[in-house]
C-alpha cells in the first residue's frame, strides 16, 4: 500500500511530464500492475481532459476599463499628486484669507503709526530745566523772618 500512495502522489507530475524518465517508467509499470491505482489515474486523466476541453478562460468584457481605473487610482496616490492635492486645498481655503489678513495687518500698522505720530506731535513733553544754581555757586541759606544771626528783613535792606 505504501508503494501505491507514493505513486498516487506523483500522478499530477506524471500527467504534466514534470518527473524524470526513470520515475515515469516506474509509475507506468505500477499502473499496469495495480488495478486501484490505474482506476484512480484514469479519473485524474479524465479530469485533465475535461479541463482542457473548457479552453482558456475568457476575460470579462470590462476588464480593460477596470484595469485603467485601477491604474489611474494608483497614480493618484503618488507623492506628486498628493502635493498637487494639498496645493489646490491651500488655494481654495487659506489663500483667499491671506490677502484680507495682510491688508488688515497693514491697515493696523498704519493706524497705530499715525496715532503715535499725532500723539507725539501734539503732546510733546516740555524740556526739563531746573532753576537750581550750580553746585559751585552754592551759598548759605538766608532766612527772611528769623531772629538768628541778625538777618531781619529790615537788616537786609540796610546792608
55-91, pLDDT tens digit by residue? Answer: 888 888 899 999 999 888 877 777 777 788 888 888 8
Q: Which residues contact 10 (CB under 8 A, 6 or more apart)?
A: 19, 23, 27
21-56 confidence digits (pLDDT tens) = 999 999 999 999 999 999 999 999 999 999 888 888
User: Does one domain contain both 48 and 75?
Assistant: no
| Alpha-carbon gap, residue 6 to 104, rounded angstroms | 88
Chain mean position to CA 58: 44
Q: With contact defined as beta carbons under 8 Å apart, do 81 and 75 qualify?
A: yes
The answer to whether residue 29 sits within a structural domain is: yes
Q: Structural domain tally of the chain?
A: 2
**CB-side neighbour CA atoms (13 Å) of 68:** 4
The answer to whether residue 147 sits within a structural domain is: no
Cα–Cα–Cα angle for 87, 92, 94, rounded to 5 degrees = 85
The answer to whether residue 68 sits within a structural domain is: yes
For the whole prediction, is pTM greater than 0.85?
no
The answer to whether residue 41 sits within a structural domain is: yes
Host domain of residue 78: 60-92
Amino acid at each position: 500500500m505504501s508503494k501505491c500512495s507514493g505513486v498516487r502522489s506523483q500522478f499530477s507530475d506524471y500527467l504534466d511530464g514534470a518527473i524524470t524518465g526513470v520515475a515515469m517508467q516506474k509509475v507506468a509499470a505500477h499502473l499496469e500492475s495495480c488495478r486501484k491505482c490505474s482506476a484512480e489515474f484514469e479519473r485524474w486523466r479524465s479530469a485533465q481532459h475535461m479541463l482542457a476541453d473548457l479552453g482558456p478562460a475568457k476575460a470579462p468584457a470590462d476588464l480593460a476599463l477596470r484595469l485603467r481605473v485601477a491604474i489611474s487610482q494608483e497614480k493618484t496616490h503618488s507623492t506628486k499628486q498628493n502635493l498637487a492635492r494639498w496645493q489646490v486645498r491651500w488655494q481654495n481655503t487659506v489663500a483667499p484669507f491671506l490677502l484680507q489678513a495682510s491688508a488688515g495687518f497693514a491697515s493696523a500698522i498704519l493706524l497705530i503709526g499715525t496715532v503715535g505720530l499725532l500723539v507725539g506731535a501734539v503732546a510733546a513733553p516740555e524740556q526739563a530745566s531746573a532753576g537750581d544754581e550750580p553746585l559751585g555757586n552754592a551759598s548759605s541759606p538766608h532766612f527772611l523772618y528769623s531772629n538768628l544771626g541778625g538777618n531781619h528783613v529790615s537788616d537786609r535792606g540796610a546792608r
